[in-house]
Chains A and B, each alone.
Chain A
Amino acid sequence: DGGITQSPKYLFRKEGQNVTLSCEQNLNHDAMYWYRQDPGQGLRLIYYSQIVNDFQKGDIAEGYSVSREKKESFPLTVTSAQKNPTAFYLCASRVQGGGQPQHFGDGTRLSIL
């Protein structure tokens, strides 16, 4: 069954700690995305990658880092520099090129301890 798997579903971060959110897809999509969703707001783009070993900053990249060493994996690290990390994080992927739909995982909810 093809899809996008995000883990964990819930994550808690202590002050000064870095945490990593996992995103794995078996859809053979080239492009992958990380979004942040806050209550009452739309999704905001953190980072995206259109090909392995390459990624670009989105609108709110400060305090976050990513890697894309494999086509199917796009982990997001929330660093201690991100002072307000509490949010719902969504990973998405799609076939490369304009006009293709994005597919989403079920999200990770990050909270501060």
Chain B
Amino acid sequence: KQEVTQIPAALSVPEGENLVLNCSFTDSAIYNLQWFRQDPGKGLTSLLLIQSSQREQTSGRLNASLDKSSGRSTLYIAASQPGDSATYLCAVDSAGGGNKLTFGTGTQLKVEL
């Protein structure tokens, strides 16, 4: 059974700092890995999706990498801003998962002025 872990659970950084969020998964047989952002009381917004054949994806100040063999992904946020404050979740679409996602518990990020 696929298990997804995110470390750290919470993170507080000063504005302008570059930061890395981590996601690890136990079964490397995946279709893709997706990073989401969730604001308080809201649904999930998709940030980046990395297919299993890809090593990284970039969107603006965000860069997500995938090392399938080691079961790890990172989300790099450059030049953080207070508006980046949110919970970030990763989710894995497993090859044997029946078209379902397995989610991590998220990293709660606070970017302070």
Contacts and interface: CB of A to CB of B under 8 A. Distances in A.
Contacts of B105: 40-42
Contact of B99 (A35, A43, A48): A48
Q: Chain B contact residues: over half helix, strand or loop, or mixed?
A: strand
A26 interface: no
Contacts of B32: 98-99
Contact of B4 (A42, A56, A96): A42
Interface residues of A, number: 30
B43 A105 contact: yes
Nearest to A43: B103
Nearest to B31: A98
Contacts of A45: 100-101
6 contacts: A42-B104, A90-B44, A99-B51, A103-B46, A104-B44, A109-B41
